Amino acid sequence: MKALWRALAALRQYPSAIAGLGIVLGMVLFALFSVIAIPYQEAIRLWRGGEGLWTDSPRFAPPAWVNWWPGSNLPTTIRLDSADGGATKTREDLGGGVTEVNLVYAFDYGFDGFPQELTVFFNPTFEAGRPNASLTWRTPDGREIRVGDVTLRSAETFRISQDTRLERRLGGVVPEIGLFADPANPGQPLKGRYELHVAGLVFEEAADIDARLVVYGQVHGWAGTDHRRRDLGVALMWGAPIALAFGLLAAVGTIVTTMFIAAMGVWFGGWIDAAIQRITEVNIILPFLPILIMVGTFYSRSIWVLLLVVIALGIFTAGIKSYRAIFMQIKQSAYIEAAQAYGAGNLRIVVRYMIPRIVPVLVPAFVSAVPTFVFLEASLAVLGLGDPVLPTWGKMINDAQANGALFRGYYYWILQPAALLLLTGFGFALVGFALDRVFNPRLRDV
């Protein structure tokens, strides 16, 4: 323990290590925060998505902070739900069992861009008689545009932007642009107060109409959205603990096990040592990534299976050879002989006298191994072999690629996870290199 503190103190003289530690610490805190803010089950649920969860988000929307760019004023989503007061609702009994339910949605539109979509989600309550609704659009400069009529089933979605008749009425312009365009300046939206009037008719006493108007913005959230309208922030946040956990577990699992096996081989010598060396030599030749791809393709893509295979393949690697060399040197030490002389047993000698000498070598190796495994998991995910349910950075990149993100200009979708991956690798690498210099004096410059 004390050795750890001394190592950290020694790191202080390397500015790169301090930067690296800062990054790593930031990542760890970010991961912890993610796990607390969005518990695991919740994250899975959110990521599994389904239209029901993310209906009110735009698709392929860049993050909202794009608007900090000077001159950029892209619209964000406007949601008005009559159920919680987003609309002014009036009921008028017209007699004969018919009641008029009027909903007026009013909002101010000050953005420089057109909305992505316009949709009205109806939520009527009725028994048998299906209500109908008539929608009218009022622009800030007083024009009234008839949007359309619709007969409501139990849950009706009226996608204004996809209505071809409205499009024709607007002169061939898609509704989300046509309804907002400034007549004097058709490329720009007219700013001001817009109103949507929904004149509904219900045919029962207890019937009612509630509706939600969603004016989809072009930007959304702090991370943007993907093809399934999911907020990428969930994946970015949850990618951190998954990446770190995978990296740490794999690094610890492989390096610690490798070290133990090397120690046992050196201590017992003879055929045990020879067997370990031969297994290692065979394993080194085996192609790591193709085997993982095979396992992922034919067996299971669960991240735990992947982790186990990675550790299993990662044990008998070149590390065994180099730790063995170090152990053989340590075994010759005079204090080991002295320990035999006062009667210490084999296990005690290996665990208490030999292994502590190699820990200083392991620590930098371990720190440098973490990003390797993080990238490995991400690579597999990018190749489509990642865990199907977990929101990881690699999965994001995989989705992005499948949806042609770079081709269609959705750079944020790739750059954000890539940046986080790079940052993680960079942070650990900085710390790892500095630790290497702390523990291995021959690399120092004096």
Residues in binding contact with another protein, number by CB under 8 A: 21
Is the Cβ of residue 141 or residue 337 nearer to another protein in the bound state?
337
Query: Angle CA(348)–CA(331)–CA(326) in degrees, nearest 5?
Result: 110
Q: How far is the CB of 340 from another protein (least distance, A)?
A: 6
Is the Cβ of residue 344 or residue 383 nearer to another protein in the bound state?
344
Is the Cβ of residue 274 or residue 389 nearer to another protein in the bound state?
274
- Cβ distance 71 to 226 under 8 Å? no
Q: Which stretch binds another protein (CB under 8 A): 145-153, 288-296, 349-357, 410-418?
A: 349-357
Amino acid identity of residue 36, one-letter, is I
Name the 3-class secondary structure at 220: coil
Where do we find the tokens 């044990």? Answer: 315
Binding mask 317-346 for another protein (x = CB under 8 A): ----------------xxx-xxxxxxxxx-
Residue list 265-294, contact with another protein (CB under 8 A): 274
Q: How far is the CB of 337 from another protein (least distance, A)?
A: 7
- φ/ψ of 63, rounded to 5, equals -65, 155
Q: Which stretch binds another protein (CB under 8 A): 84-92, 230-238, 291-299, 350-358?
A: 350-358
Asked whether position 353 contacts another protein by CB under 8 A, the answer is yes
Where do we find the tokens 């909903």? Answer: 103
Binding mask 382-421 for another protein (x = CB under 8 A): ----------------------------------------
CA 283 to chain centre: 34
In the chain, what is the greatest distance between 2 CA atoms, to the nearest angstrom?
Answer: 108
Other beta carbons less than 10 A from residue 172's beta carbon: 8
What's the 3-state SS for 402-429? HCCHHHHCCHHHHHHHHHHHHHHHHHHH
- φ/ψ of 91, rounded to 5, equals -115, 140
The DSSP code for 77 is: P
Is the Cβ of residue 92 or residue 337 nearer to another protein in the bound state?
337
Q: How far is the CB of 281 from another protein (least distance, A)?
A: 16
List interacting residues with another protein (CB under 8 A). Answer: 3, 274, 333-335, 337-345, 348, 352-353, 356-357, 445-446
